[in-house]
Amino acid sequence: MGQQQLLLITLGVIIVGIAVVTGLILFEYSSNENKKNQIKSEGANLATMAQKYYRLPITMGGGGRSFVGWTIPALLDTTDSGVYSISSVSTNNLVITGLDRMMQLGQDTIRVTVQVTESDYMITENN
């Protein structure tokens, strides 16, 4: 009986260990997906702000059919989720890059690129 109980305890510990490791892996994956989605959402928000600037006449503080002159608002360039910057800007095109804030801790970075035109924007992941 002693050996059988020891075997059952050992088997139980192994099963619990596998369950804990699996749970940690799933949590990390879910956390990364949530970060990606948050950075994409904030990038889409910035894209719509840039399009609004593009459409607004110069006399009203806009770009007058140009992205040149638009900047990311100071409160939105660094958020809890990411750090955003303008990669390139021209009259009809704007590229915004969003990086995960965890890059400062040496973890894998999540990079999202938002390409904005006058009527559309496209979000891509560069991981």
pLDDT digits (tens, 9 = 90+) for 13-40: 999 999 999 999 999 899 889 999 999 9
For residue 54, how many other CB atoms are within 10 A of its CB?
A: 23
pTM of the prediction?
0.83
At CA 34, angle to CA 17 and CA 26, rounded to 5? 15
Using DSSP's 3-state secondary structure scheme, residue 13 falls into: helix
Spatial distance between the Cα atoms of 61 and 96, rounded to a whole number of angstroms: 21
C-alpha count within 13 angstroms, C-beta hemisphere, residue 127: 14
- Give me the amino acid identity at 18: I
Q: What percent of the chain has pLDDT over 70?
A: 94
pLDDT at 64: 95
Low-confidence ranges of the chain (pLDDT < 50): none
Any alpha helices (H) in the chain, and if so which ranges?
2-55
